[in-house]
Chain A
Amino acid sequence: MSTPTLYLPRDSRLHHLHPLTKLALIGLAIVAGATLPVTLWVIAVYLLILMPLAAWGKVLPAFLRSSLLLIWPFALSLTLIQGFFAPGEHILLQLGPLSLKLEGIQLAADYTARILVWLSAVILLMLITRPDQLMLALTERGLPRQIGYIILTALQIIPRFQQRAETILDSQRARGLETEGNLVKRLRALVPLVAPLILSSILELDERAIALEARGFTRAGPRTSLTTLKDTAPQSAFRWLSLIVMLLLILARAAGWMTA
Chain B
Amino acid sequence: MIRLERFSFTYPGEDQPALSDLSFEVPAGQFYGLVGPNGAGKSTLCYALAGMIPHYFKGTLSGSLTVAEIDIAQSSLGELAGTIGLVFQNPFNQISGSRFSVRGEVALGLENLGVPRDQITDQVDETLEQSGLADLGERSPFALSGGQQQRLAIASILVMQPAVLILDEPTSQLDPVGTSEVYALLHQLVGQHETTVLIAEHKLERLAEFTDNVLVLNQGRLLANGPPKTVLTDPLIEEIGVQPTRYTQAARQARARGLILKKDEFPLTLQDAQEFFDDAAV
Chain A residues close to B by CB (< 8 Å) = 1-3, 5, 130-132, 135, 148-149, 152-153, 156-157, 160, 204, 207-228
Residues of B within 8 A of A220 (CB): 78
Task: Please tell me if B259 contacts chain A, counting CB pairs below 8 Å.
Answer: no
Chain A min CB distance to B147 (Å): 15
Identify which of B84, B103, B142 contacts A1 (C-beta below 8 A).
Answer: B142
Contact in complex: A208, B93 (CB < 8 Å): yes
Contact in complex: A156, B97 (CB < 8 Å): yes
Residues B76-116 near A (CB distance < 8 A):
77-79, 81-82, 84-86, 88, 90, 92-94, 96-100, 103-104, 107-116
Contact in complex: B81, A213 (CB < 8 Å): yes
Chain A min CB distance to B229 (Å): 32
Contact in complex: B100, A3 (CB < 8 Å): yes
Contact in complex: A214, B81 (CB < 8 Å): yes
Among A3, A130, A226, A228, the one with the most B-chain Cβ atoms within 10 Å of its Cβ is A226
Q: Kindly report which residue of chain A lies nearest to residue B82, judged by CB atoms.
A: A216
Q: Chain B contact residues (Cβ within 8 angstroms of A): what range? A: 35 or more
Contact in complex: A149, B98 (CB < 8 Å): yes
Task: Please tell me if B237 contacts chain A, counting CB pairs below 8 Å.
Answer: no
Some 6 contacts from A to B, beta carbons below 8 A apart, are A3-B100, A156-B142, A208-B94, A216-B109, A223-B113, A226-B124
Q: Kindly report which residue of chain B lies nearest to residue A3, judged by CB atoms.
A: B140
Binary interface encoding of chain B residues 22-50 relative to chain A, with 1 for a CB under 8 A from any of its CBs, else 0: 00000000000000000000000001001
Task: Please tell me if B182 contacts chain A, counting CB pairs below 8 Å.
Answer: no
Contact in complex: A2, B124 (CB < 8 Å): no
Q: Kindly report which residue of chain B lies nearest to residue A4, judged by CB atoms.
A: B142
Contact in complex: B117, A224 (CB < 8 Å): yes
Contact in complex: A204, B113 (CB < 8 Å): no
CA distance A254 to B104 in the complex (A): 45
Binary interface encoding of chain B residues 102-145 relative to chain A, with 1 for a CB under 8 A from any of its CBs, else 0: 01100111111111110011001000000000000000101100
Nearest 8 A/B pairs, CB to CB: A219-B78, A216-B81, A216-B112, A215-B109, A153-B97, A226-B107, A207-B93, A152-B98
Q: Kindly report which residue of chain A lies nearest to residue B109, judged by CB atoms.
A: A215
Residues of B within 8 A of A160 (CB): 92, 142
CA distance A130 to B138 in the complex (A): 13
Task: Please tell me if B8 contacts chain A, counting CB pairs below 8 Å.
Answer: no
CA distance A131 to B99 in the complex (A): 9
Contact in complex: B93, A224 (CB < 8 Å): no
Task: Please tell me if B19 contacts chain A, counting CB pairs below 8 Å.
Answer: no
CA distance A3 to B116 in the complex (A): 28
Contact in complex: A219, B81 (CB < 8 Å): yes
CA distance A251 to B160 in the complex (A): 52
Residues of B within 8 A of A224 (CB): 110-111, 114-117, 120
Binary interface encoding of chain B residues 210-224 relative to chain A, with 1 for a CB under 8 A from any of its CBs, else 0: 000000000000000
Among A132, A148, A219, the one with the most B-chain Cβ atoms within 10 Å of its Cβ is A219
Contact in complex: B96, A223 (CB < 8 Å): no
Contact in complex: A207, B140 (CB < 8 Å): no
Residues of A within 8 A of B99 (CB): 132
CA distance A122 to B244 in the complex (A): 59
Residues of B within 8 A of A204 (CB): 90, 93
Chain B min CB distance to A165 (Å): 15
Contact in complex: B98, A216 (CB < 8 Å): no
Task: Please tell me if B195 contacts chain A, counting CB pairs below 8 Å.
Answer: no
Identify which of B96, B98, B113, B121 contacts A219 (C-beta below 8 A).
Answer: B113
Contact in complex: A211, B107 (CB < 8 Å): no
Contact in complex: A1, B111 (CB < 8 Å): no
CA distance A5 to B114 in the complex (A): 29
Q: Kindly report which residue of chain B lies nearest to residue A154, judged by CB atoms.
A: B97
Residues of A within 8 A of B112 (CB): 215-217, 219, 223
Residues of A within 8 A of B86 (CB): 210-211, 214
Identify which of B47, B94, B103, B117 contacts A211 (C-beta below 8 A).
Answer: B94
Q: A216-B109, A223-B111 are in contact. List 20 more A-B contacts (CB 8 A).
A: A5-B100, A132-B98, A132-B99, A152-B98, A156-B97, A157-B97, A207-B90, A208-B97, A211-B93, A213-B52, A215-B96, A216-B81, A216-B82, A216-B112, A219-B79, A219-B81, A224-B114, A224-B115, A225-B111, A226-B103
Residues of B within 8 A of A1 (CB): 140, 142-143
Chain B min CB distance to A231 (Å): 16
Residues of B within 8 A of A225 (CB): 111, 117
Task: Please tell me if B156 contacts chain A, counting CB pairs below 8 Å.
Answer: yes
Chain B min CB distance to A213 (Å): 5
Chain B min CB distance to A66 (Å): 20
Do A215 and B156 contact each other (CB < 8 Å), given the known contacts A3-B100, A3-B140, A149-B98? yes
